[in-house]
Amino acid sequence: MAYFPFFVDIEGQDCLIVGGGNVAYRKVLVLADYGVRIRVVAPELEEELTELEKRFREEGRGDFLTLICRKFEDRDLEGADFVVAATEDEVLNHRISALCRESKTPVNVVDVQAECSFIFPALVRDGDITVGISTGGSSPTIAQYLKRRFREAIPEGFGELTAELGSYRELVKEQVDDISVRTELFRAMVDEGIARGCRLSREEAQEMIRRRLER
pLDDT in tens, 58-91: 999 999 999 999 999 999 999 999 999 999 999 9
Please state which CATH class domain 14-120 belongs to: alpha beta
Spatial distance between the Cα atoms of 132 and 143, rounded to a whole number of angstroms: 9
- Angle formed at CA 25 by CA 20 and CA 26, multiple of 5 degrees: 140
Question: Using the 8-state DSSP alphabet, how is residue 155 labeled?
Answer: P
Q: Which amino acid is at 197?
A: G
Element of type H or E holding 18? strand 14-18
Backbone angles phi, psi at 155, to 5 degrees: -60, 150
CA–CA dist 11, 187 (Å, integer): 31
Domain limits, the chain: 14-120, 158-213
Q: How many residues does the chain have?
A: 215
Confidence (pTM): 0.87
**3-state SS assignment for residue 123:** strand
Strand 122-126 to strand 129-133: parallel, antiparallel, or no bridges (unpaired)? antiparallel
Q: What is the pLDDT of residues 148-162, one digit of tens each?
A: 999 999 999 999 999
| 193/176 Cα distance (integer angstroms) | 20
212 against 97, higher pLDDT: 97
Q: How many CB atoms lie within 10 A of CB 25?
A: 20
Give long-range contacts, CB 8 A cutoff, 24+ apart: 55-59. Answer: 56/32
pLDDT at 1: 62
Q: How confident is the model at residue 56 (pLDDT cuts 50, 70, 90)?
A: very high
Asked if 141 and 179 count as a contact pair (C-beta separation under 8 A), the reply is no
Classify strands 37-42 and 14-18 as parallel, antiparallel or unpaired: parallel
Strands of 19-155, DSSP E = 37-42, 65-69, 82-85, 107-109, 122-126, 129-133
